[in-house]
A and B are shown apart, each in its own frame.
Chain A
Amino acid sequence: MKNYRKTKNRFPAISTASLPDIVFMLLFFFMTVTTIKNNTLLVDNNLPNAKEVKKLEKKDRIIEIFVGKPSRELVEVLGTEPRIQLDNKLANVNDVAPYVLSELSKKPDAIRNLVTVSLKVDKDVKVGIVSDIKEELRKVNLLKVNYTTYEGNAFTNIK
């Protein structure tokens, strides 16, 4: 009897035991829907907008090529000429073909002919460098390209 009265007088603490579970659930949600940024961008990459876009579904079937002006910290060293970024380093146009071939050889045989090259090109870059890259890709017979864009009104590309 004594014991019972004692517990009743104490103010009951709110149990926070389920709070970690909720947070873990959120954590797992984010872990599954997101992809970790695996390369730091050395170039400006402000993609153009387009409306008639298709999603690039499978991440493992994509080879990315970034093109843009060197980012602000690198401008002093590299100037403002647009550069190509392959993986984590800046490269020249003639490095594109060896790079995509080495990336291609890393992929399993079954999906090699489904590989798409995603061209992530800054909207202020000139078309010339892009067509040089396309020419390189044609040489190694990688013909599926995707001009990666943001979804939006394409007319905002012209200022």
Chain B
Amino acid sequence: MARNNEIPEVNAGSMADIAFLLLIFFLVTATIQTDMGLDRKLPPTDTTPPIHINERNIFRVSLNKNNELFVEDDRMQMQDLKDAAITFLDNGGTMVGNENHCNYCLGERSSSSSDNPNEAIIAFSSDREAAYGTYILVQNELTAAYNMLRNREAQRLFKSDFTEMEKAYFDSKTSAKTKSELKENINQIRSMFPMSLSEAQTNMNF
């Protein structure tokens, strides 16, 4: 007993200091990953000969060098772009009985706008002098239009938001079985409203 008392305890007090130092070092040098953004696919260079597309199936959006938005040659406010894109995509102009008829579209079915979401193309061109922030805003609004329509159909068919389904699909924690189910559903929605956003060559002469 007497001998036991003489052995001094190892002083661990400074261990905390060392650990704190390490912790602070990592806090300073590291960043929490915040990478997120808008995914796009660029068109390949070897373009097949141009297919004839009806003018009513193209929704022309352009941005000039003063960051002003033009839709089909008319000036438009940024706030109205999303709704205009939705109206265009959701139009479903082909009549009942035609094989191209869009039975899930809720639009105006105007004959001067898109025939079917599968054929509707949004062509976005931007002047080289436009600001990148505005460019992203337009991209964001157009994505929002697609997402809104896709969410609507996903709610109707699968009682879930399309964006939520996609998020679950890309989540590594989701099991393989649910993933294959989700993939089928996602592909179905995607085929209903395919994202055809063409970014034509940027033009100088505006």
Chain A residues with a Cβ closer than 8 Å to the other chain, count? 59
Judge whether B135 and A53 touch: CB under 8 Å.
no
B202 touches which one: A128, A137, A148, A150 (CB < 8 A)? A128
- Residues 33-50 of A, flagged 1 when their CB comes within 8 A of B and 0 if not, give 111110000000000111
Answer yes or no: B133 CB below 8 A from chain A CBs: yes
Query: Which residue of chain A is the closest to B15 with respect to CB atoms?
Result: A20
User: Are A122 and B32 also in contact (CB < 8 A) when A52-B147, A53-B38, A54-B39 are?
Assistant: no
**Given the interface contacts A118-B37, A146-B37, does A158 sit within 8 Å of B26 by beta carbon?**
no
**Chain B residues engaging chain A, CB cutoff 8 angstroms:** 1, 5, 12-13, 15-16, 18-20, 22-23, 26-27, 29-45, 63, 67, 78-79, 126-137, 139-141, 143-144, 147, 166, 170, 172, 199, 201-202
Q: Given contacts A125-B132, A158-B133, list 12 more A-B pairs with CB under 8 A.
A: A19-B16, A27-B22, A123-B132, A126-B132, A127-B129, A128-B202, A146-B38, A149-B36, A157-B133, A157-B136, A157-B137, A158-B131
Shortest beta-carbon contacts, A-B, top 8: A128-B128, A157-B133, A123-B133, A34-B30, A23-B19, A148-B37, A20-B15, A52-B143
> Which A residues fall within an 8 A CB radius of B?
3, 16-17, 19-20, 23-24, 26-27, 30-31, 33-37, 48-57, 59, 62, 116, 118-119, 121-128, 130-131, 134, 137-139, 141, 143-151, 154-155, 157-158
